Amino acid sequence: MPSESSSVVEQSFPIEGATEAAPFAPATGFDDSVMLRAEDLRKEYRSGSQPLVLFDGLNLTVHRGEMVAIVGESGSGKSTLLHLMAALDRPTAGDVYCASTWLGKLTATQAAAFRNREIGYVWQLHYLLPEFTALENAAMPLLARDEPRSTAFAKARELLREVGLEARTHHLAGELSGGEQQRVSLARALVTQPRLLLADEPTGNLDNHTAEAVFGLLERLHTMHRLTSILVTHNMEIAAHCGRTLRLHEGRLHEVRLQAGRSEDTSRQMATASSEAPGHPIVRTAFPGGNTAGTA
């Protein structure tokens, strides 16, 4: 699917709106083809006197242009993992790097600017602001960086055209159907031309037909905008269409091989070291030396 990914040119991540310089990943061992890297992640919540550990020692590497699906049981920590990748939350331990940016060291303001520039986030529920029209909702990330209204609306209108909602630009969020709302939310996520798309069960709240349509759109936009996409989903059909599928189970990521509605858990823990994994550099899994199952 993401065959053009290898042509993505490496860029630094200037964080506008931040007063301090953004922290960068250590230069040693930095791989240009890596879009996202999580190292030894641990996330725990305090629940009474006992800490609830979602994951511990979790590692993940996603290369530029990849479309990765993360599956797993409810409560396994998939959404939390996505929050950590978007700098919406902080890990208890471990580090997350997005290209050269070290997310753990970002201040709240830097993290906001980072999300505005680099991340497109789609939620299971559309989370459109009900007081605003589809056009205003889609333009919101650009308006937040004080881009002129005319420019922001022009870009938002273009995105709404891409998701097929040209005729619905001036409708309030409540006046749109569930599928339309999710398409507006997709337009909002992509209006800033991010490089990383994070989608948390984007079709989870839609009927099968609409879910297929929305995922089809997502796939098309992934290719068109040369995105790196990570999808959290319960839908194995959708996961099977992604370049790679990972299963979050008992705090560890396992690569899963999916074929036409049938899945086969490789039962190999991602963190097992192997640096000789063959395959295309873009699709080679990046768990330090992970395997390539299901990626080609």
Partner 1 sequence: MRFELFIASRYLRAKRRQAVVGVITAISIVGVAAGVASLIVALAITNGMRRDLQQRLLGSTAHISLMRVAGDGIEHWQALTDRLRHLPHVTAAAPALYGQVLISRGARSGGALVKGILPQQERTVSTLLNSVKEGSAAALAPSPSSGAPSPNAATPPLVIGSDLAQQIGASIGDTVLVTSPQGELTPFGLVPKYQRFQVTGIFHSGFYDYDSSYALARLTDVQHLFGEPNLVSVISFKVDDLYHADRIGREIERAAGKGFMTTNWMEQNRELFRALRLEQVVTFIVIGLIVCVAALNILIALTMMVMEKTRDIAVLMSYGVRPAQVRRIFLWQGMLISILGTTIGLALGYGLSWAGGHYRFIHLSAQVYSLDYLPFAPRWQDGVIVALVSLGVSLLATLYPSSSAAKILPAEALRYE
What are the residues binding partner 1 (CB under 8 A)? 17, 79-80, 83, 86, 88-89, 108-109, 112-117, 119-121, 123, 125, 127, 129-132, 140-141, 143-146, 149, 188-189, 192
Q: How far is the CB of 154 from partner 1 (least distance, A)?
A: 17
Tell me how far, at minimum, the Cβ of 123 lies from partner 1, in Å: 7
Nearer to partner 1, 229 or 295 (CB): 229
The residue (of 54 and 282) whose beta carbon lies closer to partner 1 is 54
The SS3 assignment for 260 reads coil
Shortest spacing between CB 10 and partner 1, in angstroms: 22
**How far apart are the C-alpha atoms of 277 and 284, rounded to whole Å?**
7
Nearer to partner 1, 26 or 130 (CB): 130
Distance of closest approach, residue 73 Cβ to partner 1, in angstroms: 17
Residues 6+ apart with CB under 8 A from 55: 41, 42, 43, 77, 81, 248, 251, 252
CB of 267 to partner 1, least distance (A): 30
Cβ-proximal residues to 133 (8 Å cutoff; 6+ apart), any chain:
169, 170, 171, 172, 173
Shorter beta-carbon distance to partner 1: residue 63 or 188: 188
Residue 269's alpha-carbon distances to 54, 74, 189, in angstroms, are: 16, 20, 32
Residue 246 host element (H or E): strand 244-249
Q: How far is the CB of 241 from partner 1 (least distance, A)?
A: 25
3-state SS class at 60: strand
Cβ nearer to partner 1, comparing 109 with 208:
109
For the record, the structure tokens of 249 come out as 């189970």
72: left (phi over 0), alpha (psi -120 to 50) or beta: left
By beta-carbon proximity to partner 1, the closer residue of 7 and 170 is 170
Q: What is the CA radius of gyration of the chain?
A: 19
Closest approach of partner 1 to the CB of residue 212, in Å: 25
98 within 8 A of 118, measured Cβ to Cβ: yes
**Which of 271, 189, 230, 163 shows the shortest CA–CA distance to 2?**
230
Q: Which is nearer to partner 1, 192 or 285 (CB)?
A: 192
